[in-house]
Each structure stands twice: as C-alpha cells, then as structure tokens.
Amino acid sequence: MSLQMSRTVLPPAPSTGDASASERFTRALVALTRQVWSPECTFRTAIAAICETAADALQIERVSVWNYEAADGRLRCLHAFDAISGSHLPVQPLEMLSLDGDGYLASLDDMRVLEVAEMDDGAEMARSHLALRDYLQRHRIQGMLEAPAFVGGELQGVICHESILRVRNWSGAETVFAASMGDYVAMAFEIARRRRAEAEVEHLRLHDAATGLPNRAYLTELIRQRLLATPLRREQVLAVVNVQVDVSGGVAWSAGAPTVDDVLGRIARQLRSLMGTDTELARTGSDGFTFLVGANPSKRSVIRLAEAVLATVESMDWQHTDVDPGVAVGIAVADRGSALDAPALLQQGEEAAARARAAGRFGYAMYDAEHHAALVEGLRLERALRDGFANGEFELHYQPEFDAHSGRWVAAESLLRWRVGGELRVAGEFIGVLEPSRLMLDVGRWVLRQACLDAVAWPRNADGHEVTVRVNVSARQFDESGLVEDVRAALDASGLDPARLSLELTETTLMRDVDRALELLRPLRETGVQVAIDDFGTGYASLVYLKCLPVDALKIDGSFVQGMLENKGDRAIVQAIVNLAAAFGIEVIAEGVETPEQQAALLAAGVHRMQGWLYGRALPNPALCGVIGSRPASAGPASDPEPAPDGQDASPVP
C-alpha cells in the first residue's frame, strides 16, 4: 500500500449539487463563530467545538486537531472527536507524528487543503509518509482532508477530517468547509495567544516582579470583592496585617552585600510560610507587605499572626552580613466602626504600622480611630502650615532673659509665632505637627537667619553690653546634615558676632546618642557660637555626661522651678544642677519664673539668670528693642502685647 497525497485547489464557488451542503456548512460556521469568539470560550472548548462541528457538517466519523512543534519537526495531537460514539477522546498518551526530512510540510505551505488517501502497499515511502500511513491504518481511516492552520504566516497546526467507514470523493463545498475549519483552528490559536498575552500583562499589573507576590492593586480588588460578598456584621469580617520592613538602617551597602530587593525577597519567602487557608499575602509598598485574613478572624488570631511575623523576621539568619532589618506590624479590621472600603482598610493598617515603627524596631499596633482622627487633623494642619510659611505668615517674638545680680537684660530667646486669620498662634499649638515634618528644616533655617538679622540691629543694654540671641534648634534640624552650614550662612548674611548667638538644644535630643551629639557639637562650637541645653533636668542621666558635652549654658526646666517651693525633690534637683554646672564653669538659666518667691529661691540656690513672665512675656522685635535698652526698675510683670495662654512661654518652644 502506498500513500497518496494530492493538493486540492479550492473552487471559486460551489456547484448546484453542493447548494444544500453549502447552506448546512454556512449555518455551522455561523454557530461556530459565536461560540469560538465568546469570552467564556477557552482554547480547549473552542478546539472541541471545531472538531464536533466539522464531523457533523461533513458527516464523517472522526476529526482531530494537531499542534505543530517546529523545534522537533513533528505534529502532536491536541484533541480528537469520535462521531460514532459521540465522544471527545482523551489523547493519552499523546500521539506524535514525526515529519522531519521530507516535503510533507512544504506541501502545506501554500495550500489550504491537502487530501490524503491509502493506496497499494509496495512502494517506497518517506519517513514521515510511513508515520502518516501508520496513523491511517491504526485508526482505519479511508480518506482524509488536512487543512493547515497558519497564524502570521507561521504553521501552528492542522485539522484532520477523517473518513473511516468509506472512501470519500470530497466535493468542492466540502473542501472549502474543511479549509474554513483550518482557519477556525488558526483563529483559536490566535485567540489563545492573545489571551495568554493579556493574562501575562494582567499578571504583571497585579503582581510584584521582585517577589512574585500579588501587588497593592490585586489586594485592593480582592478586599473590595470580599467586602461586597460579605455584609458587615457587628464583628469584623476581614483583617489586614501590614508589615513595614526597615531595611535602610540595617544594610551595609558595600560590595557583595545584599540589595534591598534581596532582603525583601528573602523576607517575602519567610512570610509566605505564615499564610493560612484563607490568607493572602501581597507586596503593597516599596518596603511593605500586607496579609489579608478572611473567614471572620478573631482579633486574637490576627495578633498571633502579627507576633509570628515579628518572631520570624527577627530570627532570620543573614549569614554574617551586616543586614539587620527591623519590622513594624499594623493591624486593622473591617467592621462597623472601622474601614468600609478597601483603600481605607489598607491605609489603616499602614497607619497602625507607622505607629508601631515609631515605638521601636520590632513591634505591632492596632489601628485606633481616635489616633486616625488626630492624624487627619495633623495632615490638615501641616498643609495649612506649609501655606502659611509660603505666604509669610510666620514671625518671631522674643522673650527677654534677666540677670538678677546686675539688674540688666542679657539675652532674648526667639519664639515662633503664626499669624493666621487675624489671630496670633503660639508655637505650642502647632509645633507637634511642624517638627516631625520636613517643613521644619525650612522653617528652622528661616528662624535662624531672621533671628540673626534682628539681633544685629538690637541696641545695647543699659550697661552698654550686647545682648545674646537664643535660637532653638529642633531635633529634626540636629539630625539632618547641614546645620553647621546653615549657622554659618545665617551669620554671614547678618554680620552678627558668632559669640552673640546661642543655639538651644533640648536635653532629650542630645541624650539620644551622646557620641553623635559630640560629633555635631564640636564643629558648631568651632563657628564661635554658644550652645545651651534646654529643658535641663528632665533626663537626669545627662548629669553623668555633662562633663563631656561642649556646652556653655544649662536652662533648668520650668517644671522644677514651679515645684521647688513645695517639693524638696525639685529643690534638690535644682541645687544639684547648679553645683555641677559651677564645677564645670557652665552658666545656669532658670526658665518659667513667675513669682518673686521663685526668684528668691533661685537666687538662694545660686541662680541669677532667669526667664519667665515675672520679667516679661514674648515681644515682637520692635517692642523688644525698646525694652532691652532700658534698665528694669524692678523685677515685675511686663506688659503683654500678644494674647498667650498661661504657661505658654514658661517652657519655650522654637
């Protein structure tokens, strides 16, 4: 038996005898088009429908679809439909036809249909013809129409229309229909390719490339769907556990050291191990992950997850590298008193994590609605402060410092004020929002420069001595590089003698890291300015380090001044500060002095420089110039040109 293959040239139109068949074929194609193009139709469903439609329309016993694997030069059977049994046959094991080394594929290049039939046995056959003959014999195929499926000029596969019960003389209409089935197979391949590409794009859109985890967009949509599917009851129905990783402070950026993505990738793999049956994990920020916990979790179970996250990351072995990341975890639940939409729930988890991070390197916090309200108000105030600073609404007032021994003014402390809407607001009303923000750096530079410009024009005091200007330096300014340059720039711009400028830093700021404080204080002192420790005594431990710190003055915190008349402990602390400062040759200034009795007690303790409402409240610069040039007749309350709450200037802020 030899194998006969002939190229079939498609007729331009069906003959009259083919009219009924053509109508049948047309109806079949219309129905098939609707099915294949349906969004719900998968590639497997489309191929099965094509096979079944072709078998029914051509009235043949079997149709199979094959995929061409170009790398191996062979066809692999994808699907077969047996019309006799009406079943779609499982192709296991996969049937393969090796087609390399002959002209079989070339015969498909430019023909829409290839007719194959069995002939006599004795002739020599090419290798692929032998494989094809074996296939025909194995399935008892009497005749077959093969239609290639091309996509973009490349062969994707073929569809075989197989007649088993009889030898067929294929009509022109049948040949045209068979060719159309090849086009539909090509269409199915192309639709599948496009959907794979779309799925890949969608996967990339919804997943993080570095960790392979779902991203924020994915988790947001998932939360939205869960919230819609599950009505909120009194108890929570969802919870998020936000994980913020602090990498920047724990990685030594040197050759061979792990990158941030390396660190986060390893942490992500460890976090995956904590996922439960109804838990999703996503990367929701550059340094953050979020667990979504469903199935109406209890707060206790969510807290256990947070504790497991902390324990897992803290116990990770970084193999002798300098990596030591910290982790803060924030918990938020969706209930009637909390978030009712996906973005809000994610944001609440992040707010809680930020609060945990502020408390230490490893810890967790629950979202708190009151804290959130305060945060929202803080953001509103910060925006208003930015606008106010840009619009020139900030101004400096000065509270004078009195020397009780000489009876003269010796210094004045600059205090920030905000004139907004016709009202003057003292710093205590907004410094808590201003200081943590980056706006503090700009405001701090302005305060430093403006105070120097004001001070250089001050008159001498009644004894002919120049008056020192004291400027508060915030913790944010002290932590940022550039403070020394800012001081030099302010001195250069104003022409102020550096010895007349005293920079005040709080005891808390200096005591956070004494070694770093020493590194920063030395170059400051080299500029010629003075350095004073503000609110001294609140840290206690600073007494031990006082001999190491290059400072010129201590300002005793007003709380000790207020309590020293009735409280022996406060009185003892004041005396200890005075004695220690005297031993080191450091000036002592008392803040918050309000009564003659407090003044007398301070003088008895050895303090003669004082500041407080007993001598005067904060004054605008023009008013201050009129005060410091005169000698006070006696220590007593001064006029107050600005309304200020009691105690507001007793413990000055920048």
How do residues 357-405 score in pLDDT, each as one tens digit?
Answer: 888 888 999 887 776 677 778 888 999 999 999 999 999 999 999 998 8
Flag whether pLDDT at 108 surpasses 90. Answer: no
Asked whether the beta carbons of 232 and 336 are under 8 A apart, the reply is: yes
Alpha carbon of residue 644 to chain centroid:
42
To the nearest whole percent, how much of the chain has pLDDT over 70?
A: 83
What one-character DSSP code corresponds to residue 324?
Answer: -
Q: Which residues contact 90 (CB under 8 A, 6 or more apart)?
A: none
SS (H, E, C) 352-387: HHHHHHHHCCEEEEECCHHHHHHHHHHHHHHHHHHH
pLDDT digits (tens, 9 = 90+) for 72-95: 888 899 999 999 999 988 665 568
pLDDT, average across residues 541-555? 79
pLDDT, average across residues 102-123? 63
- Nearest alpha-carbon partner for 77 in 138, 8, 142: 138
**What pLDDT score was predicted for residue 94?**
63
Q: Which domains does the chain have, with CATH numbers?
A: 3-197 (3.30.450.40), 216-367 (3.30.70.270), 378-628 (3.20.20.450)
pLDDT, average across residues 524-536? 92
What's the rounded Cα separation, in Å, for the pair 55 and 442? 80
* Of 21-25, 562-566, 594-598, minimum mean pLDDT range: 21-25
pLDDT, average across residues 478-504? 94
- Residue 190 exposure: Cα atoms within 13 Å on the Cβ side: 15
Flag whether pLDDT at 251 surpasses 90. Answer: no
pLDDT digits (tens, 9 = 90+) for 424-455: 999 999 998 999 888 999 999 999 999 999 99
What's the rounded Cα separation, in Å, for the pair 287 and 263? 10
In single-letter form, the type of residue at position 25 comes to F
**What pLDDT score was predicted for residue 63?**
96
**What pLDDT score was predicted for residue 73?**
80
What's the rounded Cα separation, in Å, for the pair 303 and 305? 5
**What pLDDT score was predicted for residue 448?**
97
In terms of DSSP H, where are the helices of 240-391?
A: 260-272, 299-314, 342-359, 369-390
Asked whether the beta carbons of 330 and 351 are under 8 A apart, the reply is: yes
* Of 127-136, 296-305, 609-618, minimum mean pLDDT range: 127-136
**What pLDDT score was predicted for residue 283?**
94
Asked whether the beta carbons of 605 and 575 are under 8 A apart, the reply is: yes
In the beta sheet, which residues pair with residue 82?
62, 87
Asked whether the beta carbons of 461 and 467 are under 8 A apart, the reply is: yes
pLDDT band at 184 (very low <50, low <70, confident <90, very high): very high
**What pLDDT score was predicted for residue 320?**
61
Residue 315 CA: distances (Å) to CA of 252, 310, 357 = 19, 8, 18
Question: Dihedral sign, CA of 32, 33, 37, 43?
Answer: positive
* Of 57-66, 131-140, 191-200, 343-352, minimum mean pLDDT range: 131-140
Flag whether pLDDT at 326 surpasses 70. Answer: yes
Flag whether pLDDT at 617 surpasses 80. Answer: yes
Flag whether pLDDT at 245 surpasses 90. Answer: yes
Flag whether pLDDT at 311 surpasses 80. Answer: yes
pLDDT, average across residues 225-246? 77
pLDDT digits (tens, 9 = 90+) for 255-290: 456 678 888 999 999 999 999 888 999 999 989 999
Strand 501-506 to 530-536 pairing = parallel
**What pLDDT score was predicted for residue 300?**
82
pLDDT band at 652 (very low <50, low <70, confident <90, very high): very low
**What pLDDT score was predicted for residue 296?**
77
**What pLDDT score was predicted for residue 112?**
72
pLDDT band at 163 (very low <50, low <70, confident <90, very high): very high
Flag whether pLDDT at 643 surpasses 90. Answer: no
Among all chains, which residue has been given the structure tokens 């390399």? Answer: 100
**What pLDDT score was predicted for residue 651?**
34
**What pLDDT score was predicted for residue 116?**
75
- Residue 126 exposure: Cα atoms within 13 Å on the Cβ side: 14
**What pLDDT score was predicted for residue 474?**
92
Flag whether pLDDT at 228 surpasses 70. Answer: yes
- CA angle centred on 152, ends 148 and 158, rounded to 5°: 15
What's the rounded Cα separation, in Å, for the pair 555 and 586? 10
**What pLDDT score was predicted for residue 237?**
74
Among all chains, which residue has been given the structure tokens 């104003």? Answer: 494
* Of 82-96, 215-229, 450-464, 627-641, minimum mean pLDDT range: 627-641
pLDDT digits (tens, 9 = 90+) for 8-24: 544 444 454 556 778 88
**What pLDDT score was predicted for residue 645?**
39
Asked whether the beta carbons of 396 and 416 are under 8 A apart, the reply is: yes
* Of 68-72, 403-407, 625-629, minimum mean pLDDT range: 68-72
What's the rounded Cα separation, in Å, for the pair 334 and 338? 6
C-beta neighbour count of 511 within 10 angstroms: 18
C-beta neighbour count of 410 within 10 angstroms: 21
Flag whether pLDDT at 493 surpasses 90. Answer: yes
What's the rounded Cα separation, in Å, for the pair 130 and 99? 10
* Of 31-35, 308-312, 473-477, 507-511, minimum mean pLDDT range: 507-511
pLDDT, average across residues 616-628? 93
pLDDT band at 110 (very low <50, low <70, confident <90, very high): low
**What pLDDT score was predicted for residue 13?**
46
Range with top average pLDDT, 34-43, 58-67, 111-120: 58-67
What's the rounded Cα separation, in Å, for the pair 383 and 225? 34
pTM over 0.75? The answer is: no
pLDDT, average across residues 616-631? 90
In single-letter form, the type of residue at position 99 comes to L
* Of 139-153, 398-412, 635-649, minimum mean pLDDT range: 635-649
In single-letter form, the type of residue at position 183 comes to D
pLDDT, average across residues 632-653? 44
**What pLDDT score was predicted for residue 379?**
81
What one-character DSSP code corresponds to residue 428?
Answer: G
Flag whether pLDDT at 337 surpasses 60. Answer: no
